[in-house]
Structure 1
């Protein structure tokens, strides 16, 4: 197509995720986090291209066709808490109808047990039973988010993708939601949580992956990331420093457009530690992609 550009939305993303483990994927808006989740579910636009492999419960989901994804992956092997829940709920059906359909399809719940099973599914995420007969447009953003979370949990999929699952929730409901996701993980399932909420990530995650300009620039244990010795990549350190309970100092500058990345290290134009060597792209080595990482124990 004349004028079309090739944009590498996610590049060289590599990680494993074990049963019973939560990996929090964090970074500024537009860095590629949600694109990664969409790729795992085969929900990218038709002109998108993927390479490599992503094996979930024995199936390479990047190589699977639409029929295999629809019948054997989505909801059954990978559950999704979407970033925009209202867009994933059918507007002419009640929340109860959504729950009942999902329970029948994924759990084989008999019709006579659907009412009790629906109320139990709602209770898992503190969704008020009085709103089960509401339509999606009658829900607040927070209620729509909780409904979507409950629907994602119904299939007890081996991998759950939670894309900003705490959007629109007050702090108490954030804590309840992430605690339920943690219980889901502790039952032996894997959780990839995409979030801007670092407090929620600290509460739930076993490991943290920091994404910047389509690349994972740091991958480390949550206790080391949020505690001591702290992040090693300058961008990751900046994310933590921006928190109100820390330095409350924003990361300087703006993230680059994925279609107009600078040569070398994409963070170099915003980095106080950048030198001439940063004109060469850094590899992810020992969990950090930086030419000038902080010392691992200091």
Structure 2
């Protein structure tokens, strides 16, 4: 609820994610991606209302109480790599002290050489340089702050890494290095949910892509088919790719609707050149897409 009115920030989101896989959740800012991440971790505001289920193993994250979330979920089942790592890190403490505290909390190693070694091992897993462990967050570059946050997320060996806009504010070289590092942490017992508006980053490492628009997942597809041929099926998803500089570089006309005033029908209809009277009703999600008139023609190949 905001200003006395209900805001439908996320609705009807359905997806699964297996170990060894990266799912990229993409969409414009404000579509509900980060709200979904907060819901999975129980970090929504106190006046938020949730319904449905989200299972991590046999535990429903949506139904879990705060004690369960704090003791068995955050850091242990889900490792969060936050959108603004420099703000997420404690400014008055060194990276080493923050890693050691996380090791104490999640592994039971309490003090002495074992604690120090465990913190240094966590840093090494995230390619964080040992020579920077005794620095404070303000002494780190954006890329190193991201690696410090990743090291903290890896301490508990959580089976799910949730990276919320991990490349925000980084230049292209650092974006590629950051997502390559994230991909390296996916394995036989770990999956990655990458929340991003950076389609190039998603294309680089994702196995599947979920496209979110105005609170709802409107397409779910294999990454190779989504970025290649036949391409996206939802007109909004196709518009996102067409807006890229190496494709048509054509922006989607109009603006997304306010989440507090969503239309009864298709939320994209006002911006869509395929819209008809049928779009006054909300399309069901079927065969990987929520659209009355999904595209079937392959995308043109990206320009050289």
Partner of 2:153, secondary structure, is helix
Q: Does 1:249 align with 2:250?
A: yes
Tell whether the 8 Å contact from 1:124 to 1:180 is kept in structure 2 after alignment: no
Cα displacement string for residues 192-230 of structure 1 (whole angstroms, at most 9, x for unaligned residues): 110111111111111100000000000010011011100
In 2, the alpha carbon distance for the partners of 1:270 and 1:111 equals: 61
2:38 maps to which residue?
38
In 1, the alpha carbon distance for the partners of 2:10 and 2:297 equals: 26
Q: Which moved more, 1:63-72 or 1:111-120?
A: 111-120
In 2, the alpha carbon distance for the partners of 1:3 and 1:52 equals: 25
Tell whether the 8 Å contact from 2:25 to 2:194 is kept in structure 1 after alignment: yes
Q: Following TM superposition, by how much is the alpha carbon of 1:2 offset from its aligned partner in structure 2, in angstroms?
A: 11
Tell whether the 8 Å contact from 1:125 to 1:177 is kept in structure 2 after alignment: no
In 1, the alpha carbon distance for the partners of 2:116 and 2:158 equals: 22
In 2, the alpha carbon distance for the partners of 1:269 and 1:141 equals: 38
Q: Following TM superposition, by how much is the alpha carbon of 1:251 offset from its aligned partner in structure 2, in angstroms?
A: 1.3
Tell whether the 8 Å contact from 2:99 to 2:152 is kept in structure 1 after alignment: yes
In 1, the alpha carbon distance for the partners of 2:249 and 2:161 equals: 32
CA 1:263–1:119: 2 relative to 1, 3 Å: same
Q: Following TM superposition, by how much is the alpha carbon of 1:284 offset from its aligned partner in structure 2, in angstroms?
A: 0.7
Cα displacement string for residues 161-214 of structure 1 (whole angstroms, at most 9, x for unaligned residues): 110112233333322322222222124211111011111111111110000000
2:122 maps to which residue?
121
Q: Following TM superposition, by how much is the alpha carbon of 1:135 offset from its aligned partner in structure 2, in angstroms?
A: 1.9
Q: Does 1:170 align with 2:161?
A: no
2:302 maps to which residue?
none
1:132 maps to which residue?
133
Q: Does 1:194 align with 2:195?
A: yes
2:103 maps to which residue?
103
Q: Following TM superposition, by how much is the alpha carbon of 1:297 offset from its aligned partner in structure 2, in angstroms?
A: 6.5
Q: Following TM superposition, by how much is the alpha carbon of 1:285 offset from its aligned partner in structure 2, in angstroms?
A: 0.8
1:179 maps to which residue?
180
CA 1:3–1:248: 2 relative to 1, 3 Å: closer
Tell me, which stretches of 5 or more residues in structure 2 are unaligned? 300-304
In 2, the alpha carbon distance for the partners of 1:100 and 1:175 equals: 29
Q: Which moved more, 1:255-264 or 1:18-27?
A: 255-264
Aligned runs of 1:267-286 on 2, under 5 Å? 267-286=268-287
Root-mean-square deviation (Å): 1.9
Partner of 1:43, secondary structure, is coil
1:21 maps to which residue?
21
Partner of 1:12, secondary structure, is coil
Q: Following TM superposition, by how much is the alpha carbon of 1:153 offset from its aligned partner in structure 2, in angstroms?
A: 1.6
1:230 maps to which residue?
231
In 2, the alpha carbon distance for the partners of 1:30 and 1:293 equals: 24
2:294 maps to which residue?
293
Q: Does 1:72 align with 2:72?
A: yes
1:8 maps to which residue?
8
CA 1:34–1:108: 2 relative to 1, 3 Å: same
Q: Please report the TM-score for the alignment, with normalisation by the length of structure 1.
A: 0.94
Q: Following TM superposition, by how much is the alpha carbon of 1:147 offset from its aligned partner in structure 2, in angstroms?
A: 1.3
Q: Which moved more, 1:206-215 or 1:259-268?
A: 259-268
Partner of 2:218, secondary structure, is strand
Tell whether the 8 Å contact from 2:143 to 2:178 is kept in structure 1 after alignment: no
> How many corresponding residue pairs?
298
1:204 maps to which residue?
205
Q: Please report the TM-score for the alignment, with normalisation by the length of structure 2.
A: 0.92
In 2, the alpha carbon distance for the partners of 1:157 and 1:128 equals: 22
CA 1:2–1:197: 2 relative to 1, 3 Å: closer
4+ runs of 1 displaced by more than 4 Å?
Answer: none
In 2, the alpha carbon distance for the partners of 1:31 and 1:3 equals: 19
Q: Following TM superposition, by how much is the alpha carbon of 1:260 offset from its aligned partner in structure 2, in angstroms?
A: 1.6
Partner of 2:173, secondary structure, is helix
